[in-house]
Structure 1
Amino acid sequence: MTRIDRTPFTDQDKAPQDTDVDGRHIWVSKQITFEQSIEAYDLAVQSNALHSFEDLVHTGTWHKYEQRAASLARKHPSHDPFISYLSTDHANRWTSPNSRQSYRSALIRMAARDILELSPVYWRQVITDEMNEDHRIHLIRSLKPNLDQDVRNQIKGAKERLCFKKVDKLNRAVLFLLQVPPDPHHTALRERSSEEGDADANRESRTLASKKATLLALNRHQRRKAKTFPNYDWRSHFWATAVLPDDHLDDHRRACIATLMLTGCRPSEFSDDLGVAIHTSDTDGHPCLHFEIAGAKVSDEIDGHPGKGQIWRQIDVRCQTDEAIWLFDHMGKLDQKPIFLKLPAVAHKQSGELLMPSERHRRVTVSLGKLITRLGKIAFPHLRHKLTPYVFRHSFTSDFKAGGHEMDARDLAGALGHQSARTQQHYGSANTARGLAGSRMLQVIEVRSSTPVRQPARQSYPSTEHPRPQLKS
């Protein structure tokens, strides 16, 4: 025998499995095969290709995974998140591809954790229970590819047998991971099978479709109004009839809404750990605003895989539209410059537990979204669609794509906070804004971002590899 074959399994390990069920000893039958457990173990190791469990715990991601698993468990009579996921996936009841991805990632990592923790104990248990010596040797040798030093130590250190609950946990984790294998690089995560792909290819995310439909309806409204009022612009109308006269709004929130309209920034970027800084200047007699935005969707490059999102970006605007002029005048009345736009959010749960940054960002987005929707109903009482902050982001992109300026796709990506110029294909459309008055892009002077946008280089585009600028008062 080899050293692997001489792993010290003792006869003591052959004792029946104990479970605390009315004080009785219960023997738990195996629902998975030895080969299935090995295959699932390999998949569990693959799931750790980019981020270890320690990284997930340190960044707070593991806490979000637990919340998602609990949410899925509540949605199914079995209270099993794995069964709930498979049921929802089979019926294709996801609200969006991102929703499916978030739940899948959470359950895969939770299943992988259980498999990596319990499989070595399970292997020892199965091998010691095997009475046929030839079969036992076969089982041990089948483990050779997986028996690194850590696994050996886990097997040797297994002093007790798996209880009923742990065997059931391992069974469910193995069966789930075999059906839903990990995809750590997300190369095929959002792809459905070929049979499902034909049905899903023409269907957009509900939220994305809603934003585009709202913008399309507002632009149609503007075209109708323009027949009577050639300079009519739905955003200026929104500002003049809903934002300025509203007695429930303070100037700080008005400044946030003006910034949304002028820069197309994300609503979550007004969170207290991010924020938007604004500085003013007077260039050749023209009032200008300089926005510095801390990016909300940022990830680092890992193992050659590019990250996403700009850490910061700057957008310089020459004040020509109503909200830009108001914001410039508002800042002139303040003693402190630059100003920093941040919206408060509750930092703790009712239990006293600290909320994760992503949850605080979500709450700021929801709060600002409710405000914009309420103001939208005032400005456009007959609009059947819901106005949200992201509609301004789409309208900003549509203005850019409609042309009339000297910037290119890399400038738009930088202004939106994207690392890649390809991401903007999900935002706006040139046709929806072409020929309309009130383009916000025409007053944008310059865009700078923390890192270069990924796209074929152009000679006239200045290098953006410089440290983060400091706004001067």
Structure 2
Amino acid sequence: MGKAKKPALKSLPASWREDMWARAFEPEWRQARPQLLPALAVLWLTGCRPAEIEQGVRMLLRNDLLVIEVSGAKCTDAGGRERGQPKRHYAFKIDADANLALTFLRTLVAQNTVNGTGQRQISHNADYLYNSVVALGRSVFPALRTRVSPYCFRHQVASDLKADPDVLLEDAAKFMGHLCDYSIGKYGHAIHARKGGGRVKALAVQTSRPIKHSPKVDRLARFKIASAKRRDRNEKPS
């Protein structure tokens, strides 16, 4: 899956999420697929898996703070060992310059407010969501040879996290719902990061399990440093 979706980001314009959002916001799409826009907003903000949206994503809104709770879809492996995060919570601050998806969710969640706290649960069948996003991508980018799927949002979020020098590897793993800080290496590339309104930074992300550090990360870092030094030596004029 990862190998198929990473190249797609290279072919997409910097505003691809905004472009797809604008098309999904049109009356024709909203009437035909009423569940798509809320699910699209969650994909944009969190990069979660379609299976996690199918399980139901819980929203809490109080004043200018939106909390999104995601239940992990990959929490154990075939041998019953721990994998991923059973729960993760994202906190987003909403201001006048808030992202389109964030503003939309605030309006949606605020419709059901009790004692000053808005609540909402968003869900969408995973297969139908996949097909809807692919159809939306074809509508927006008819000349694109690579399909745009929900996992493109996940790879884009990973790319944005990798490119942000202020984001620690542990925090990036939390955002992605991983158990180990090595897993994000399978997602996205820093070179495909988007700047401007497309990037949405969370105030905080909490996970139900602590992030495990993999020695592979240290070995990879040493390899990259050694490779960079070799390139510098080769590039120096003799």
TM-score when scaled to structure 1?
Answer: 0.41
Residues 115-194 of structure 1: matches in 2 within 5 Å? none
- Residue 444 of structure 1 is aligned with which of 198, 202, 207? 202
CA drift of 1:335 comes to 4.7
For 1:424 and 1:210, the matched residues in 2 are separated by 16
Cα deviation per residue 1:363-387 (whole Å; 9 max; x = unaligned)?
x332111000111122222222101
What runs of 5+ residues in structure 1 fail to find an aligned partner? 1-206, 223-232, 344-363, 457-473
Asked whether 1:261 is paired with 2:44, we answer yes
Structure with more relative contact order (C-alpha pairs < 8 Å, separation 6 or more)? 2
- Residue 10 of structure 2 is aligned with which of 201, 204, 216? 216
CA drift of 1:433 comes to 1.2
- Residue 415 of structure 1 is aligned with which of 126, 151, 175? 175
For 1:427, the aligned partner's letter is Y
Q: Corresponding residue for 1:372?
A: 133
394-403 or 324-333, larger mean C-alpha shift: 324-333
Is the 8 Å Cα contact of residues 301 and 307 (structure 1) preserved in structure 2?
no
TM-score when scaled to structure 2?
Answer: 0.79
Cα deviation per residue 1:177-219 (whole Å; 9 max; x = unaligned)?
xxxxxxxxxxxxxxxxxxxxxxxxxxxxxx322211111111x
For 2:107 and 2:197, the matched residues in 1 are separated by 20
For 2:153 and 2:161, the matched residues in 1 are separated by 12
Q: Identify the structure with the greater strand proportion.
A: 2
Q: Corresponding residue for 1:249?
A: 33
Asked whether 1:453 is paired with 2:211, we answer yes
For 2:92 and 2:153, the matched residues in 1 are separated by 16
CA drift of 1:417 comes to 1.2
- Residue 385 of structure 1 is aligned with which of 142, 146, 169? 146
CA drift of 1:300 comes to 7.5
For 2:52 and 2:7, the matched residues in 1 are separated by 24
For 2:184, the aligned partner's letter is Q
Cα deviation per residue 1:52-99 (whole Å; 9 max; x = unaligned)?
xxxxxxxxxxxxxxxxxxxxxxxxxxxxxxxxxxxxxxxxxxxxxxxx
Is the 8 Å Cα contact of residues 180 and 211 (structure 2) preserved in structure 1?
yes
SS of 2:36's equivalent in the other structure is: helix
SS of 2:66's equivalent in the other structure is: strand
Q: Corresponding residue for 1:295?
A: 72
Asked whether 1:333 is paired with 2:111, we answer yes
For 1:281 and 1:261, the matched residues in 2 are separated by 21
Is the 8 Å Cα contact of residues 399 and 439 (structure 1) preserved in structure 2?
no
CA drift of 1:422 comes to 0.4
CA 1:301 to 1:454, structure 2 compared with 1: closer, same or farther past 3 Å? farther
For 1:368 and 1:325, the matched residues in 2 are separated by 21
List structure 1 runs of 4+ shifted beyond 4 angstroms: none
CA drift of 1:306 comes to 5.1
Q: Corresponding residue for 1:342?
A: 123
Q: Corresponding residue for 1:53?
A: none
CA 1:414 to 1:301, structure 2 compared with 1: closer, same or farther past 3 Å? farther
Is the 8 Å Cα contact of residues 36 and 132 (structure 2) preserved in structure 1?
no
- Residue 17 of structure 2 is aligned with which of 211, 214, 235? 235
For 2:212 and 2:65, the matched residues in 1 are separated by 29
SS of 2:205's equivalent in the other structure is: strand
Q: Corresponding residue for 1:280?
A: 61
CA drift of 1:449 comes to 0.2
Is the 8 Å Cα contact of residues 178 and 211 (structure 2) preserved in structure 1?
yes
Asked whether 1:324 is paired with 2:102, we answer yes
CA drift of 1:407 comes to 2.9
SS of 2:192's equivalent in the other structure is: helix
What runs of 5+ residues in structure 2 fail to find an aligned partner? 215-238
Asked whether 1:312 is paired with 2:106, we answer no
For 1:370 and 1:253, the matched residues in 2 are separated by 11
Is the 8 Å Cα contact of residues 24 and 36 (structure 2) preserved in structure 1?
no
For 1:326, the aligned partner's letter is F
For 1:445 and 1:298, the matched residues in 2 are separated by 25
For 1:261 and 1:407, the matched residues in 2 are separated by 18
SS of 2:8's equivalent in the other structure is: helix
SS of 1:280's equivalent in the other structure is: strand
For 2:211, the aligned partner's letter is V
Is the 8 Å Cα contact of residues 88 and 207 (structure 2) preserved in structure 1?
yes
Cα deviation per residue 1:216-264 (whole Å; 9 max; x = unaligned)?
111xx33xxxxxxxxxx22112111x111013121x4311110011000
CA 1:413 to 1:255, structure 2 compared with 1: closer, same or farther past 3 Å? same
Cα deviation per residue 1:104-147 (whole Å; 9 max; x = unaligned)?
xxxxxxxxxxxxxxxxxxxxxxxxxxxxxxxxxxxxxxxxxxxx
**Which of the pair has more CA radius of gyration?**
1
For 2:143 and 2:50, the matched residues in 1 are separated by 25
CA drift of 1:427 comes to 0.3
Q: CA RMSD in A?
A: 2.2
The percentage of counterpart residues that share the same residue type is 29
Is the 8 Å Cα contact of residues 159 and 188 (structure 2) preserved in structure 1?
yes
For 2:110 and 2:77, the matched residues in 1 are separated by 38
SS of 1:317's equivalent in the other structure is: strand
For 1:333, the aligned partner's letter is Q
